[in-house]
Structure 1
Amino acid sequence: MLFTEDLLHYVWKFRLFNRLNLRTVEGEPVEIFSAGMHNKDSGPDFHNARIRIGETVWAGNVELHLSSSAWQQHGHTDDKAYDNVILHVVYRDDAPVTLPNGRRLPTIELHDRIAPELYQRYHNLIFGQRVFIPCEANFSIVDELTMGNWLSRILVERLEKRSRAVLDALALNRGDWEETFYQFLAANFGFKVNALPFELLAKSLPQIILAKHKNNPLQIEALIFGQAGFLDEEFTDDYPHKLKTEYDFLRKKHSLTPVDRHLWKFMRMRPQNFPTIRLAQFAALIIKSNHLFSKVIEVKEIPSLRSLFADIEINEYWETHYRFDTISAQSSKKLGQASIDIILLNTMALFLFSYGKQHQQQYYISRSLKLLESLPRESNHIIDDFSNLGLKIQSAFETQALLELKNNYCDYKKCLNCSVGNKILKLT
């Protein structure tokens, strides 16, 4: 069976090998006080190890290879970065490593010191048959405390990665949190299907322009629909005709260039999710709330966050329309609870976390996590498959963490970097 260097790193890091009467290949006794810190960048594999070899206690770096001959093959002999290596840890010793000063590099061989059961469990994880995730056969034996702690950790990892996009956009917007929030909120109003045209719309229509017309709802709606590219034709109905008249004037006044209308997608969508309806809802939110991000930062209670979206009233024209000039049966076009939850999840929680990270204020990070705990679990095939493995999933806090686990650990078989995989591998 194949032995990998990743497994060798794992075995050394957690000292999962027989250390009784440990000696170098030349017979000197070895005692490990500290295995060192795992280095994921260039240079030796572990930094700042502390090891007794013979009668001397050494402090320095440790390099690992499947075979000792790899030292020469990788060019370490002439690389100054490896001058402070105090120990060479190998799976098999197949060739002596001599340093430039003529001294042989102290080396320990682990081939006969690793329990076969550990390797078999690793092989089953990485190379075994699976339907969903590598550890699905053993997933149920992982205790709730281990699972809960791991999900908390990788949720923060997920939010940290996603917050980088927020902070990059913030830099482009010269530190303007309101404008950055407005752009991300617009993209999330489009959900996955129309996120791009919504984002382009927001970037083409800065809030400073909308603020100049905050007391005129018709002009706000005209700017939103006009910049989206939906007012480039003649209309029969009075409402879109008024929007077009307003927009033609405002477009010249502010030197605006609309988004390409063909970017918007209607196909295979429920009419309630048509981009025209989402644009009407977005316009209603802009009319209701200026400086929305400031409100998000100030609001402490989650029900108050929901009310920012639950109480918006869109133009009555849309009660009987899904498109301009096409009448339909009357129905409410308010944002539904599920849509509000998605916006709270993808925009509110993310920005609270990003704001907390940027300003080094744990209070906002905690509010972000609390908000995710209050939101219902998401529903998709990944979450359903985890449920089928017996995992109890209650909130968006857990579903977001599980998506991170599946997409960035399980799919890449990073079992050695996963607390679930570690628990399974360490079973006795």
Structure 2
Amino acid sequence: MQEDFLHYVWQHQYFDKTNLRTTDGQLITVLKPGYRNADAGPDFLTARLQLDEVEWSGAVEIHLKASDWHRHQHQTDLKYDQVVLHVVFEADQPVQRLDGSTVPALALAARVGPDLLRAYHKLLEQPATILPCAAQLPAVPEITRTSMVERALLERVELKASVVAALHQRLNDDWEATTYHTLAAAFGFQKNSEPLTRLAKALPLAVVRRHRHDLLQLEALLFGQAGLLAENEDSVGDEYITILRREFDFLRHKYSLHGTALAAHEWNFLRLRPANFPSVRLAQLGAVLHARPALFDALLTAADLPTLTKFFQVPTSAYWRGHYRPGVAGKVPGLGKSSIHLLITNVVVPLRVAYARHIGQPELVESALALLSLLPAEHNHITDNYAVLGFQHRNAADSQGLLALHRAYCAPRRCLHCAVGSRILQRNLVER
């Protein structure tokens, strides 16, 4: 059994309330179970209970065993002093608040019906290669599935926006710097997002701004700080790389960049098509930084999808149109539409949502999300599996929602937090 099951039981009050009492004999009347807390602290907040003749308002904490209170160190955390009821499956020991007072406990082991337990195990123990409830999905109304995907999409976008907001705070409320760092990370396209995130830290926007008018100097800074200008058998005798190396040596001394550069081995080239090599992505990022002097304003105010697409459609320098990596020749295509769509999804949308939250204009969130419905659906093994099972997959909003559903609910089997899983469990219970 998982703790999520007890959360579900408490939230929906699916247990026998006959002569409901705490472990020390107090009569319990549940006036309001409270609402689920998604942040740190007790599991349910603003609950209202009556213990004997006294009404209490506060939090409810839920554990499989009462002793989990101590295992999780709640006895030393002030947030748990507001707990008015400890709901457990097994009450194996009493627990106390910081002031030494005992927290009333409710044990549910004898109050949860066997039919509910069987329905729960039937849902979670289904062997499925795609998602746990695959075999039972046909019984779930389409509106339930659609609303859950929309909910997962909003949670995914809000999570990305919160990362942008935290970055904005660390960068002293500088939206242009926030955009620079967010854009750099996104140009890593998952495989190289982490080293590109570190590169943005190693190459401050203040330095980039001073040289963004000169593409050669900008490339020298980007590739030099990336550790990709070190001489090797590929680049020996390459005139352009020699110029970049010489330019970087000068700029590195000028801006005291010693010791902050990445090493060449930190970049991932393995199992990537040449067009996705980090050297190609760096050249494309450099071209955007060179051609677009006001990143934040341009991405925030672009009125339509064609304008946003044009923002990213910037040709790289002549050298990088003919080289995949330093000293390695080959015809390199420009930034493709699918890559641009991913950049809009992972940069523009969360950036706009974070800004909307920052200035207190929630209506801008809707317009940011609307961008996703204009983008084509992303096809991968996860989204395609959901489409086979009957989930709508028409555009990028659906793709992002399905990816969020998979990662946040299906893969970790958080079925009881999902509207689809909850509906199936209720149906299984009714059938019995």
Question: TM class, shorter-chain normalised?
Answer: 0.7 to 0.9
The aligned amino acid for 1:391 is F
Match for residue 240 of structure 1?
A: 241
C-alpha distance 139-246 of structure 1, shift in aligned 2 (>3 A): same
Q: Distance in 1 between matches of 2:92 and 2:320?
A: 77
Q: Distance in 2 between matches of 1:205 and 1:321?
A: 23
TM-score w.r.t. the length of structure 1 is 0.80
SS at match of 2:135: coil
The aligned amino acid for 1:133 is L
Q: Distance in 1 between matches of 2:227 and 2:382?
A: 36
Q: In the alignment, which of 314, 326, 329 is matched to residue 327 of structure 1?
A: 329
Runs of 5+ unmatched residues, structure 2:
94-103
Q: Distance in 1 between matches of 2:51 and 2:132?
A: 38
Match for residue 99 of structure 1?
A: none
C-alpha distance 423-215 of structure 1, shift in aligned 2 (>3 A): same
Measured on the aligned residues, the alpha-carbon RMSD in Å equals: 4.0
Kindly provide the CA deviation profile for residues 264-314 of structure 1, in whole angstroms up to 9, marking residues without a partner as x.
23233212122222222111111110121111111121221111012x111
SS at match of 1:212: helix
Contact persistence 1:17–1:110 (CA under 8 A): no
Runs of 5+ unmatched residues, structure 1:
96-104
Match for residue 399 of structure 2?
A: 399
User: Greater CA deviation, 7-16 or 151-160?
Assistant: 7-16
SS at match of 1:386: helix
Q: Distance in 2 between matches of 1:92 and 1:274?
A: 54
Q: Distance in 2 between matches of 1:369 and 1:120?
A: 40
Q: Distance in 1 between matches of 2:130 and 2:121?
A: 17
TM-score w.r.t. the length of structure 2 is 0.79
Match for residue 145 of structure 2?
A: 147
Q: Percent identity?
A: 35
Contact persistence 1:349–1:371 (CA under 8 A): yes
Cα displacement (A) at 1:9: 4.1
The aligned amino acid for 1:417 is H
Match for residue 423 of structure 1?
A: 423
| Residue correspondence of structure 1 range 244-263 to structure 2 within 5 A | 244-257=245-258, 258-263=261-266
Contact persistence 1:23–1:108 (CA under 8 A): no
Kindly provide the CA deviation profile for residues 146-167 of structure 1, in whole angstroms up to 9, marking residues without a partner as x.
2222222222222233333323
The aligned amino acid for 1:322 is Y
C-alpha distance 7-193 of structure 1, shift in aligned 2 (>3 A): closer
Cα displacement (A) at 1:129: 2.9
Q: In the alignment, which of 276, 289, 294 is matched to residue 291 of structure 1?
A: 294
Q: Distance in 2 between matches of 1:91 and 1:18?
A: 13
Contact persistence 1:314–1:333 (CA under 8 A): no
SS at match of 1:137: helix
Q: Distance in 2 between matches of 1:90 and 1:226?
A: 58
The aligned amino acid for 2:47 is N
Match for residue 274 of structure 2?
A: 271
Q: Distance in 2 between matches of 1:230 and 1:294?
A: 31
Structure label with greater radius of gyration: 1
Match for residue 318 of structure 2?
A: 316
The aligned amino acid for 2:251 is L
Cα displacement (A) at 1:67: 9.4
Q: Distance in 2 between matches of 1:370 and 1:282?
A: 26
Q: Quick one: higher RCO (CA 8 Å, sep 6+), 1 or 2?
A: 2
Kindly provide the CA deviation profile for residues 236-263 of structure 1, in whole angstroms up to 9, marking residues without a partner as x.
3443333333333322222223322222
Match for residue 281 of structure 1?
A: 284
Q: Distance in 2 between matches of 1:150 and 1:319?
A: 44
Match for residue 102 of structure 1?
A: none
Kindly provide the CA deviation profile for residues 45-98 of structure 1, in whole angstroms up to 9, marking residues without a partner as x.
664325697xx6945467878899999xx9x9xx9978995x897879999xxx
Match for residue 127 of structure 1?
A: 125
User: Greater CA deviation, 233-242 or 282-291?
Assistant: 233-242
Q: Distance in 2 between matches of 1:342 and 1:265?
A: 19
Q: Distance in 2 between matches of 1:32 and 1:281?
A: 60
| Residue correspondence of structure 1 range 77-96 to structure 2 within 5 A | 85=84
The aligned amino acid for 2:315 is E
Match for residue 100 of structure 1?
A: none
